Amino acid sequence: MCRIDRRRIDLPFTPDRPARTGGGGMIGAYVINLETAQARRERIAGQLTRLGVPFQVFAAVNGRALAEDEVARRYDAQAASTSYRPMSRGEIGCALSHLGVYRKMLEDGASLALVLEDDALLGDDVPAVLDALASQLDPARPEVVLLSHVDKFTRWGTRPLGQRRKLVRRYGEWWRAHGYVVTRAAAERLLAGLQPTWCAADYWSAFERRGLVSVRAVVPYCIGLTELAEASSLETHRADLDATDKARRSVGYYLRRYVYQRFLFQVFVRPFLRVARQKRPG
């Protein structure tokens, strides 16, 4: 039977420092990485080492290798069909990996943590952003802050973050989980509300609607994706599942969406909610 492997994988150049525990210091990172993906591991480790961000590597769950009884125990297929859509083995493994990081974070006594996937591309000012977040976030409040690109956001409730960035609130759907900061309280809430798993690790709008966490984002973003993301079989399979799900929708659904986007959103919603758009990467 397969199980979640939470062993730390130490590289020769990995700083032997834990994630931030509340006694000061930079927020530490947990890097989700399959044990067989050495090139990815070395790539992200090199970035973190160069930036001076303390980190440890978390052995990702290989969803394709899980035994059937393990999947049945850790995955709620009925809830997924009702509230999300059927998940691929890769998505299940990814979701379990993020949940495993939250559990490890709590075991380590970390108050804040940076969660990274191994295809993340870190900007040079990530350490400064982490320092700014450490001074603003309360570990006792269930908050998640995305450092990755978000498309739309509302200007209401914007807070300054350092000299050139700001913390913004969500508008619409925010996806991606390759770079975000999570508080201890948020880790506890996500563990309590997402087991057994029923959706992807980055269904942030649903987590917020269910009252699990409050989600914000850093704008401009400071964590992108390397070219390794394009080679991800998980994202390819996920795109296929999303396309299948969209194909089931009626013509009426797309007609209503068109009317909303072209008329109602532009005339009423966007001005009232002060919706802004961030430039797309690349």
Number of domain units in the chain: 1
Residue 223 counted as domain residue: yes
Phi-psi region of 169 (alpha: psi -120 to 50; beta: other; left: phi over 0): beta
Q: How far are the Cα atoms of 89, 120, 192, 238 from residue 243, in angstroms, in the given order?
A: 17, 25, 30, 9
Residue 262 counted as domain residue: no
pLDDT in tens, 5-22: 333 333 322 333 444 444
Residue 86 counted as domain residue: yes
Residue 200 counted as domain residue: yes
Q: What is the CATH number of the domain that holds 175?
A: 3.90.550
* Residues 183, 102: Cα–Cα separation, whole Å: 9
Residue showing tokens 């493994």: 93
> Exposed, middle or buried, 190 (CB in 10 Å: 0-12/13-18/19+)?
buried
pLDDT at 256: 56
- State which residues of the chain have pLDDT below 70: 1-24, 232-273, 282
Residue 42: domain span: 8-249
Its pTM stands at 0.82
> Would you state the structure tokens that stand for residue 171, as one six-digit string?
């508008």
* Residues 158, 25: Cα–Cα separation, whole Å: 26
* Residues 233, 36: Cα–Cα separation, whole Å: 15
Please state, as a whole number, how many other Cβ atoms lie within 10 Å of the Cβ of residue 218: 26
pLDDT at 267: 53
* Residues 275, 265: Cα–Cα separation, whole Å: 10
pLDDT at 51: 98
pLDDT at 257: 53
Residue 53 counted as domain residue: yes
How would you write 5-52 as a 3-class SS string? Answer: CCCEECCCCCCCCCCCCCCCCCCCEEEEECCCCHHHHHHHHHHHHHHC
pLDDT at 275: 84
Query: Do 201 and 234 contact (CB within 8 A), yes or no?
Result: no
pLDDT at 229: 86
Residue 281 counted as domain residue: no
